[in-house]
Amino acid sequence: MKTVSLITGASSGIGLYLAHEFAGHRHNVVLVAPDEWELNTLANQFRSQHQVEVHTIAADLEEPGSFERIQSYLAEHGLTVDHLVNNAGHGRRGKSWEIPIEEDLSMIRLNIEAVLRLTKLLLPPMIDRKNGRILNTASIAGFEPGPLLNVYHSTKAFILSWSEALAIELEGTGVTVTALCPGPTDTDFFPKAGMENVRGFQQAKVMAPQDVAAAGYEGMMQEKLFVVPGTVNKALVMSRRLLSEEAQARLNLKFYEESPPEKRTRMRGDFEKAAAT
């Protein structure tokens, strides 16, 4: 059996650079994302850049049938997952009563249900082998209520709480769980969630996905319970924990309100490109 690191949401943003981290540290990788053509293009780039074995599984993780296909692919190719990275996720900004229920459920299916399904599939063999590491991409959003990004915050609160409790349950088994809690990061998340013009993107400290991924990989390897990348995000999480829940919610409301037009100077990709040069 060959060992692999399996990364979901590996076609862009934080997941793409997490995949580069694993491959760059000489781990064979399985890239999971919805678009087969995009994955095949990436796989060729990874093979020439990193000289590791690269597998791709095109899967929509909101479809329960995807998990059987992932399991079959791993069995057919004789692959053992040593590192599981549950990273795929998405958000949607808006007032709770204006967001269609299907969009709420879509967030719950991808951000929560898919993480549970994939973990329940791949964790038992890790426990049997007494070896494995799991990295779940939560968010600093998981620490606090988030008006205008309500369901998203709630899904990340679930992932953060669930990951930390699971890590403690697993003590002594040889398997570790780490929750990666990024703050604002320059990825497609913001445009997809309708959030390119919010203060949280235009005026806050925004990190490059490359730096977030490096912190996540390192934290997982150091067996940390959770990782908050970046000094500003760390300070934000620590200071907000001293505030009342109501004060935290009101601060987040400001964060998700539209930035004044004269302060909208940032474009998606600015920080990602700057980190690459």
Ligand X SMILES: NC(=O)c1ccc[n+]([C@@H]2O[C@H](COP(=O)([O-])OP(=O)(O)OC[C@H]3O[C@@H](n4cnc5c(N)ncnc54)[C@H](OP(=O)(O)O)[C@@H]3O)[C@@H](O)[C@H]2O)c1
87: nearest Cα among 201, 208, 223, 217: 217
Q: Which of 3, 24, 34, 170 binds ligand X (CB under 6 A)?
A: 34
Compute the least distance from the CB of residue 172 to ligand X, in Å: 29
Pick the piece of the chain touching ligand X (CB under 6 A) from 81-89, 96-104, 254-262, 269-277: 81-89
Q: Which of 4, 5, 6, 9 binds ligand X (CB under 6 A)?
A: 9
In the complex with ligand X, which residue's Cβ is closer, 100 or 127? 100
Establish if 189 lies at the interface with ligand X (CB under 6 A).
yes
Structure tokens that stand for 29 in this block:
């990788």
Q: Which of 4, 19, 23, 110 binds ligand X (CB under 6 A)?
A: 110
In the complex with ligand X, which residue's Cβ is closer, 28 or 87? 87
Question: What number of chain residues touch ligand X (CB under 6 A)?
Answer: 28
Is position 17 annotated as part of the catalytic site? Answer: no
Strands 54-58 and 79-86: what pairing? unpaired
Alpha-carbon distance of 126 to 156, in angstroms, equals: 24
The catalytic residues are 152
Q: Which residues bind ligand X (CB under 6 A)?
A: 8-9, 11-15, 33-35, 60-62, 87-90, 110, 137, 139, 182, 184-185, 187-189, 192, 209
